[in-house]
Amino acid sequence: MSKDFGVSRVLEPRGAVPATAWKLDNSTEISDREVLVGIEKLNIEWDSFQQICSSCGFNENRIRAKILDIVDKRGKMHNPFTGTGGCLLGAVEKTGRAYEGPLREGDRVYCLASLCGIPIDIDEIGNVDFNYGQIEVKGHAVLFETSPVFAADETLGETYTMSAINEAGCLLTARNMAEERNAVNIAVIGRNACTSVIYASAVKKASPSAEVTAIIDENLRGELDIETIEAAVSPDVDHVILADLSDPADTYERLKSEDRQCCGADMVIVAEDIYGAETLAVFMARPLGCIYFTTVENHYAIAQTVAESIGKSVYMFLFDQYIRDYPLFTMDVVRSSKTVLDRLDEMYGRKPVPLAVTESRAKSQDVFATGRAGDFIYQSPVTARMVEEVMNIAKYDCNVIIQGETGTGKEKVLSIIHQNSERHAMPCVKINCATIHENLAESEFFGYEPGSFTGASSAGKKGYFEMADNGILFLDEIGTLSLSMQSKLLRVLQENTFYRVGGTHQVSVNVRVIAANNVPLRELVNAGVFREDLFYRLNICCIDVPPLRNRREDIGCLAEAFVSEWAKKYNVSRKLSAGALDVLYRYNWPGNVRELENVVHRLVISADGAVISAERTARVLSENEGSDHFSIAVDLEEKNRVDFHEIMERQERQLIEYAIKKGGTTRKAADILGLPQTTFARKKLKYGL
């Protein structure tokens, strides 16, 4: 029976089921009770799709590479940051000899089972559809006898059918709730017009006379005006409202002043995960009205808090799970709305709507959108999960390794641990191991007795371990310590005792050690430059701080915070334009948060007026090593041309400057660039360096 739902495909960890496993066997050699399907299209869960796009800066090639990387590492399309997958469309290529399910070779089918539990192998990714969160692919999937599937209806559009399938369980539940509560005034907060239509159609199956209002975030409509959207969704949707979901209080007051029917709705369906949608839903629902959240990511917990804070009693419901009747009802909804959905497909085809998350983020720096742990500011779900992990680890008095690139904020993570640990009232001693001379390392760490060596203080000296007694000792760049010093450090961690240099009295300490390194210590162990036993002694818990390019949602809120900080310091008024935020968002940030703070500092100082423009931001970034493509993009947008020779000279000058700083002498600088010294000297003279 276990093979019916793919337990035999689990590689890591053994004993898990496919949906919870870290890695699946995605080989195309099927067993007797499996089915091999050639994949044509994947519909990725919206929260997963947003996270992938965001971490890749909405660059299509990077998005493709990211998806291929997930599938390659996990054997399935299961985003580790969001824990969600999606659904697929494909054709049956082969069935196992003992397979007793409904599929036959040649059948073209939709699979409703989450991609979190389906082995997938992707060879190639084609078009990326930002409107629906779908990708065209060439590859294979392995389905099981228990996998919920149904035949593709060739008369229906694939795009909106897959979008509806992604909402399958929620649609029937929404219909049942509308019937049970006799809802006649219903609001749908949808991520796009298609989502609004299918929910409107679903609830009207229960209440044909219901008035349905669709509320769509105005920052995600692209070039589409409200008249175009209204004409496309009629008659399934009765009213359309374009609203700033990131400002729910003002939006609600505007709707109330316009005497909109949705203010006081019997039922509000929240199918959008932009922060603020959940708050607007609470405002709009009538007392004892109903709010239905289609996923956990729609901020159900925040809505509960908001309802409590404003003293409003509402009933809140959350999507449960798949049941047998969902596909039949979903296809009934799609067929009954075919005319409208075809019209929407055509509309989006004419004017594709970009996934304008940057613009949306520029307007959503509110209390819900921006998380804060001490002075660690974040907006990305990736960072939110890391902070949650850090807060949990802080409670346990164990050694910790913090890993991450230079400038990611490892010391900020240390501060969170210190402030939330039982040692918060005790010292936190921070040491950069890279700055300690090897000959002095032992005396620095363990201290020394009076007169123990030439130049020693007559009073002796406490070492770092004694200074951090009962507190935390933070060892940054621990990988730079010599193997000899690592051995001595290991003994202290094992025994909690040591001798001062020149001392005969054993010193006992109670210290929690937190180590950090910008290169994973496991790599240093494999290279033979870090002791494996010390690694295991430190590696009770390991925190990976992701680079800024993998948590791009943090860029906006961090940049705004830095602008506010520097503007206050210099007593000036400064604000980033939406265009400036977009430029910051698209940059790759090799120097991470530290580089972002430096760039913002320069922008605050160099800005001509109160608003920092996109052009100014691009110019400042172009001064950074290897960033000239930003000024090129600005020139192309403004003048529709660039000066090739000017750009090449600018790049050459930057390379010469870099080599001089790196090498120190003309000979070494020339070697760095692989140039003859005489050639390098001429170029150095050319640029007056």
Q: What whole-number distance in Å separates Cα of residue 122 and Cα of residue 112? A: 19
Mean pLDDT, residues 493-502: 92
- pLDDT tens figures, 446-462: 999 887 777 777 778 89
What distance in Å separates the CA atoms of residue 85 and residue 166, rounded to the nearest whole number?
10
pLDDT at 171: 87
- What average pLDDT does range 20-49 have in this prediction? 90
CA distances from 222 to 130, 133, 233, 358, 580 (A): 12, 16, 17, 12, 19
Confidence of residue 187 (pLDDT cuts 50, 70, 90): very high
The C-alpha atoms of residue 423 and residue 446 are separated, in whole angstroms, by 21
Say yes or no to pLDDT of 626 above 70: no
Percent of the chain topping pLDDT 90? 38
Residue type, 599: V
φ/ψ region of 40 (left if φ > 0, alpha if ψ in -120 to 50, else beta) reads: alpha
Hey, which residues does 428 pair with through a beta bridge? Answer: 472
Which one has a higher pLDDT value, 639 or 670? 670
What's the confidence (pLDDT) of residue 367? 38
pLDDT at residue 640, as a whole number: 53
Q: Is residue 661 predicted with pLDDT exceeding 90?
A: no
**What's residue 375's pLDDT?**
66
Summarised one tens digit per residue, pLDDT across range 280-304 is 999 999 999 999 988 766 677 788 8
Report whether pLDDT(352) > 60: no
pLDDT of residue 3: 45
pLDDT in tens, 257-285: 988 888 999 999 998 877 788 899 999 99
414: Cα within 13 Å, side-chain hemisphere: 25
pLDDT tens figures, 230-253? 888 889 999 999 888 878 888 899
Conformation bin of residue 418: beta by default, left when phi > 0, alpha when psi is -120 to 50 = alpha
Length of the chain: 689
Provide DSSP, 249-310: HHHHHHHHHTT-TTTTEEEEEEE--STTHHHHHHHHEEEEEEEEESSGGGTHHHHHHHHHHT
DSSP 3-state helix, strand, coil percentages of the chain (rounded to 5)?
45, 20, 35
What's the pLDDT score for residue 581?
Answer: 84
Query: What is the tens place of the pLDDT at every residue in 304-343?
Result: 888 888 889 988 887 665 555 677 888 889 999 999 999 8
* Structure confidence by residue, pLDDT tens digits, 132-159: 889 999 999 999 888 888 889 899 999 9
What is the C-alpha to C-alpha distance for residues 337 and 446, in angstroms, rounded to an integer? 75
Q: How far apart are CA 561 and CA 285, in angstroms?
A: 34
- Name the β-bridge partners of 149: 111
Query: Given the structure tokens 């289609």, which residue do they identify?
Result: 294
Q: What is the mean pLDDT of the chain?
A: 84
- Residue 610 is given by DSSP the state S
Q: How far is CA 377 from CA 172, 383, 416, 540, 550, in A?
A: 39, 9, 11, 26, 15
∠ CA 198-204-208, nearest 5°, is 150
First to last CA, the chain: 75
CB 100 within 8 A of CB 32: no
Q: Please state the rounded mean pLDDT for residues 94-100.
A: 90
Judging by beta carbons within 10 Å of its beta carbon (0-12, 13-18, 19+), is residue 259 exposed, middle or buried?
A: exposed
Q: Higher pLDDT residue, 210 or 53?
A: 210
For a pLDDT cut of 70, what percent of the chain falls above it? 89
Q: Rounded to an integer, what distance in angstroms lies between the CA atom of residue 18 and that of residue 74?
A: 11
- In this prediction, residue 491 has a pLDDT band, given cuts at 50, 70 and 90, of very high
Neighbours of 652 (CB within 10 A): 14
Instruction: Report pLDDT digits (tens) over 520-576.
Output: 899 899 989 999 999 999 999 999 999 998 888 888 889 988 998 999 999 999 988
Residue 193 exposure: Cα atoms within 13 Å on the Cβ side? 34
Inter-CA distances, 253 with 256, 283, 434, 561, Å:
5, 9, 57, 28
Residue 368: pLDDT band (50, 70, 90) is very low
Query: pTM of the full predicted structure?
Result: 0.60
What local confidence, expressed as pLDDT, does residue 373 receive?
Answer: 62
pLDDT grade for 351, boundaries at 50, 70 and 90: low
pLDDT of residue 634: 47
Q: In 3D, which of 475, 473, 482, 493 has the Cα closest to residue 534?
A: 493
- Residue 89 confidence (pLDDT) above 90: yes
Residue 627 — pLDDT band, cuts 50, 70, 90? very low
Token readout for 353 is 């709507």
Cβ-Cβ contacts under 8 Å for 77 (sequence gap 6 or more) = 42, 44, 67, 70, 71, 85, 86, 115, 116, 118, 120
- Token code pair at residue 590: 């090799």
Phi, psi of 87 (to 5 degrees): -140, 170
Q: How far is CA 596 from CA 360, 552, 581, in A?
A: 20, 12, 12
State the amino acid at position 280 in one-letter form.
Answer: L
